[in-house]
A and B are shown apart, each in its own frame.
Chain A
């Protein structure tokens, strides 16, 4: 039974005095009072509790919307961060490649420089050794010549001393006197 049928039964019962009080339906007056009281209560509820309920609902809606917006913003930020990280990763890779290339270049330069220096040092050492060998040869030659001269002069001195007896000493003095006399004649 819907509300219309109930209301109709209530009207019939009121209009028909023969009808006894129904086992289910309340008394007519009670229905009227009850109905009026219900309307008043509904009206009061609508008047006083309605705004608070609507405000609560709209606040919840706004909160949910704010949360949705924050979530969207967080997602955008996360996407941006992810993009940045991807970019950074890309940059890191490029930087790594650049550093590796630079290291290779420097390594090649150091090796080339090392080879050049080693070649130069080897050439210098060779030249030095050659010059030193020549100097040693020269020194050895000089020392040999000096030694020969020393031995020769020592031998000559020894021979001269052995031959310088009293007769030769006297002869040397006489030769000196003759020489002075001759030159005296030339000088005077």
Chain B
């Protein structure tokens, strides 16, 4: 799977770079992949080979519409059309990593239970950037299952201060 995801990520990277929209496409694909990952029904329909391909591609177009760049829509349609939707998170993760490496950035994912305000995001990015000692390519994800708090992943480091994890620790103690 990882070799295939790597191949797809390389292809997407080359196309986006050739179009000169690498940052835009990478950011949009990340948001779309997060949205699909958190929506089981959408994931089920787009990944179901029993559903006609034309219909699935129509859903992709309707989902992105004018909100995403044309290249992003085409690349997502490619992944859906080849039946690799299940690999989409891995593909996008590799694409983001490659794009970040290209720009000399470190990928940082900030996962929170509620949407961050711009001020909160700025504060967090500054703190994480100071800790990493390098500029970051920040991706924010809203994950209600965390209940509260934040989980930040900077490179290979995970800083978990979510309510979910604390509750799990309490449960383990009980």
Contact = CB atoms under 8 A, between A and B. Distances in A.
A180 B132 CA distance: 10
Interface in A15-49: none
Interface in B127-161: 127-128, 130-131, 133, 147-150, 152, 159, 161
Nearest to A148: B174
The secondary structure that dominates the A interface is helix
B123 A177 contact: yes
Contacts, number: 75
A52 B170 CA distance: 143
Interface stretch (A1-9, A105-113, A149-157): A149-157
Contacts of B149: 172-173, 176
Given A153-B167, A164-B163, A188-B130, A176 B150 contact: yes
A10 to B, nearest CB: 165
B167 A184 contact: no
- Size category of the A interface is 20 to 34
Given A179-B161, A180-B159, A188-B133, A173 B120 contact: yes
B148 A168 contact: yes
A161 B127 CA distance: 27
The residue in A156, A177, A184 that gathers the most chain B C-beta atoms within 10 A of its C-beta is A177
26 contacts: A148-B174, A149-B171, A149-B174, A152-B171, A153-B167, A153-B170, A153-B174, A156-B170, A160-B147, A160-B148, A169-B113, A172-B148, A172-B149, A173-B116, A174-B120, A176-B152, A176-B159, A177-B127, A178-B127, A179-B159, A179-B161, A180-B124, A180-B128, A181-B130, A181-B131, A184-B130
Interface of A: 148-149, 152-153, 156-157, 160-161, 164, 166, 168-170, 172-181, 183-184, 187-188
